Amino acid sequence: MDLARPEVSPRVRSNAARLGLLALPVAFFGIFFAYPVVAIVSRGLRAGGDGWEFGRLWDVLADPGIRHVLWFTTWQAVVSTVLTLVVALPGAYVFARLDFPGKQVLRAVVTVPFVLPTVVVGTAFLALVGRGGLLDEWWGVRLDTTVWAILLAHVFFNYAVVVRTVGGLWAQLDPRQEEAARMLGASPLRAWRKVTLPALGPAVAAAALMVFLFTFTSFGVVQILGGPTFSTLEVEIYRQTSEIFDLSTAAVLTLVQFAAVGAVLAVHAWTVRRRESALRLVDAATTARRPRGAGQWALLGGVLVSVAVLLVLPPAVLVRRSLHTSGFGYYRALTDDDGGIFLVAPIEAVGNSLQYALAATAIAVLVGGLAAVALTRRDAGRLVRGFDALLMLPLGVSAVTVGFGFLIALDEPPLDLRATWILVPLAQALVGVPFVVRTMLPVLRAVDVRLREAAAVLGASPWRAWREVDLPLVRRALLVAAGFAFAVSLGEFGATVFIARPDNPTLPVAVARLLGRPGDLNYGQAMALSTILMVVCAVALLVLERLRVPDRTGEF
């Protein structure tokens, strides 16, 4: 008797295809993230012996110097977050509720700092508040030896996080609810506090947590502006690893940072779920109006002034400093090989960075795209949702640990990659994948699931259904995701500083090496290279703005 093969339902086939799509992302993160981190941490905790020295944890945390680093890391992140919210929330309102000429250009200007490498941000503020900087030249004031330089640089870097996250949601809140409260006798402040603020609460919390995450793990900014006085956990991990060679202390600090980042990401995931389930949104295009009344015009003017002073002035001073006293002399000097810290002319770092970033972008789009497609359905199981949260870990876990872990773990066949060029793009792609997923996932989830089901019923394979249904709808989002991955790969510094070879430095590594050498020529060349890196990132951002896909969640 012939037994007919049981018919497999489209839903079962879809779930099986989703798990298959996750195979490459899981393998990628397992091999190039989890394995190097575990390898370097375990080697540090073994401390040259056969057993695990967990008592080292308490020894390290009892050290007064380490406790000072932990305290500074925490309080500067809290203060940076508060300052960023205070400065950026008015800007979020202006972009959400007001319509004015040049709004799209201003949006691009506001977003440029977020995609700038932290090394460029630190260098720009060094040109503004450091020795020979604008403030020093005009008023004899230097802030590079104070914590204010670090705090202002963090506000500069994270301003766009608040504007995009809070402003994106604010633009979609129905203004008629606040207007109804005003008609019932509530003052403008009371109506905003009772109606709008509770609705914005989850978005503000999500933005604050992201800013705290970025400032808690700050490396490039603090490395350049902090000097020997100020050190975050990330900077201390780098110092213990590369200067003191104390792997056990670095391992303990990595575990502490990992625990803190995990807690922040867990709270962030909860706030995002709360926001998605609690709000009913309207079309953002219907909520923005021309400024009305002196108050709104004054607010718009104040935001424009703050953007000019805080976001435009530091890059402008960086460009000015790169041309100071010598015209294009510092740029011409980049073509010379001095036989010192570089085995090649510094200008070759531009080509190296572009090649590495393109390779990293291809890897990030492939891995992140597969992960985003697999995570599209909101009814995915807990295991799949858990992997969604794990994708954010490379943004918070010590990039220094990842970079040094590459050298420790990927040194034996079949993963002996230390002498190959692919090592740098792999490290950069780890940072780019979360941006690809966060950019593509909301758009993929907006695709009507009935279109996919109809294609499956008609006999289309999951791959063909995705190619014929999803791809035409998400093509622009894919380009935006690639642009973000390219920008963040171009500026990756924490891991690359360990694995970039002396004869193939990247732009951020070259800038850091030049700043580490005394002399006006080295300082000027660092400014020139930083300007080149800033221009490349800004061009990538402007292209993104032309391709930008409106996002219902307000996320990047």
Distance (Å, rounded) from C-alpha 213 to C-alpha 209?
A: 6
When the pLDDT of each residue in the chain is averaged and rounded to a whole number, the result is 77
Contacts of 405 (CB under 8 A, 6+ apart): 35, 36, 37, 39, 40
**In the prediction, which pLDDT does 49 show?**
53
Please, are residues 261 and 390 in contact by the beta-carbon 8 Å criterion? no
The structure's pTM equals: 0.78
Say which range, 169-178, 278-287, 519-528, has the weakest mean pLDDT. 278-287
Distance (Å, rounded) from C-alpha 287 to C-alpha 96?
A: 8
Distance (Å, rounded) from C-alpha 102 to C-alpha 106?
A: 6
**In the prediction, which pLDDT does 284 show?**
47
Please, are residues 291 and 300 in contact by the beta-carbon 8 Å criterion? yes
Q: How far is CA 422 from the centre of its chain?
A: 22
Residue found under tokens 């008015």:
90
**In the prediction, which pLDDT does 79 show?**
95
pLDDT exceeds 60 at position 14: no
User: Model confidence at 475, in pLDDT bands (50, 70, 90)?
Assistant: confident
| Predicted confidence (pLDDT) per residue in 419-452, tens digit | 788 889 999 999 888 888 877 776 677 666 676 6
State phi, psi for 420 to the nearest 5 degrees.
Answer: -100, 155
Task: List 98's β-bridge partners, or say none.
Answer: 289
- As a whole-number percent, the residues of the chain with pLDDT over 70 amount to 74
Our CA dihedral for 113, 119, 120, 121, rounded to 10 degrees, sits at: 50
Q: Is the dihedral of CA 91, 476, 208, 249 positive or negative?
A: negative
State phi, psi for 279 to the nearest 5 degrees.
Answer: -115, 150
What is the DSSP code (8-state) at residue 396?
Answer: T
Contacts of 72 (CB under 8 A, 6+ apart): 230, 231, 232
Q: Which of 229, 92, 83 lies closest to 156 in space, CA to CA?
A: 83
Please, are residues 484 and 544 in contact by the beta-carbon 8 Å criterion? yes
Say which range, 65-74, 199-208, 376-385, has the weakest mean pLDDT. 376-385
Give the 3-state secondary structure of residue 128: helix
Tokens representing 35 are 């394995």
| Predicted confidence (pLDDT) per residue in 270-295, tens digit | 766 555 444 444 444 556 677 777 88
Exposed e or buried b for every residue in 114-147, given b needs 16+ CB within 10 A?
A: bbbbbbbbbbbbbbbbbeebbebeeeeeebbbeb
Q: Which of 394, 154, 396, 431 lies closest to 261 in space, CA to CA?
A: 396
User: Model confidence at 550, in pLDDT bands (50, 70, 90)?
Assistant: very low
User: Model confidence at 520, in pLDDT bands (50, 70, 90)?
Assistant: confident
Q: How far is CA 125 from the centre of its chain?
A: 19
Q: Which of 117, 222, 106, 107 lies closest to 532 in space, CA to CA?
A: 117
Contacts of 108 (CB under 8 A, 6+ apart): 541, 542, 545
User: Model confidence at 333, in pLDDT bands (50, 70, 90)?
Assistant: confident
Q: For the residues 520-527, what does the mean pLDDT come to?
A: 82
**In the prediction, which pLDDT does 87 show?**
93
Tokens representing 461 are 């394979």
| Predicted confidence (pLDDT) per residue in 445-473, tens digit | 766 667 666 767 777 676 677 677 766 76
| Predicted confidence (pLDDT) per residue in 38-91, tens digit | 888 777 776 555 555 556 667 777 788 888 989 999 999 999 999 999 999 998
Q: Which of 216, 211, 221, 96 lies closest to 158 in space, CA to CA?
A: 211
Distance (Å, rounded) from C-alpha 398 to C-alpha 232?
A: 11
Q: What is the DSSP string of 248-267?
A: HHHHHHHHHHHHHHHHHHHH
Give the 3-state secondary structure of residue 164: helix
Q: For the residues 382-392, what does the mean pLDDT come to?
A: 67
Please, are residues 144 and 129 in contact by the beta-carbon 8 Å criterion? yes
User: Model confidence at 367, in pLDDT bands (50, 70, 90)?
Assistant: very high
Give the 3-state secondary structure of residue 98: strand
Please, are residues 371 and 387 in contact by the beta-carbon 8 Å criterion? yes
Q: Which of 458, 477, 456, 480 lies closest to 466 in space, CA to CA?
A: 456
**In the prediction, which pLDDT does 555 show?**
43
**In the prediction, which pLDDT does 549 show?**
46
- As a whole-number percent, the residues of the chain with pLDDT over 90 amount to 8
Exposed e or buried b for every residue in 361-371, given b needs 16+ CB within 10 A?
A: bbbbbbbbbbb
